[in-house]
Amino acid sequence: MSQGSVILKLIALPLSIILICLGIMTVLGGHITPGGGFQGGAMIASGVALSILVYGLGNSPLEFSHAYIEVFESIGALGFIILGLIGLFVGGFFLYNVGTDILNIVPASIQNVLHYPDVTNAGIIPYLNIFVGLKVFVGLSAIVIAFEGFKKFTEEGE
């Protein structure tokens, strides 16, 4: 059982939720702002790590099973590979940015002024940020969970 103070336990969960929300915002806005999948995934993992370190592995309100972590890691890896293969088949290069104005939402006047046919679409970059964010979040969270589990295992052995 964790020996954190009551004040630390009162603050840890709201702070963890704020860190997770900021991480999600960083992942989703990574194609137009500084940041992206790696930074956002690390922020989400820091929220999970804070909760696990304060409450302990068994008592954490943000609890992840092995199957849950495995599914998210698989989604991140497969999504990245699938987007890379789509770029390979469409553009001839792995992770080629296949960005077009699919919904035709950019007015022709804006396209003519900027001489760029695709002003608002970042192509596959936002999706890549999401999949990289998932992989980084799961990887860093798994490291914290493994260390906390090893700590618990060694304390029980004494």
Q: What is the pLDDT of residue 2?
A: 46
Q: Give the mean model confidence (pLDDT) for residues 13-17.
A: 94
Q: Tell me which of 118 and 153 has the higher pLDDT.
A: 153
Q: What is the pLDDT of residue 157?
A: 62
Residue of 4, 49, 41 whose CA lies nearest to 24: 41
Q: What is the pLDDT of residue 24?
A: 93
Q: What is the pLDDT of residue 148?
A: 83
Q: Is the pLDDT of residue 20 over 90?
A: yes
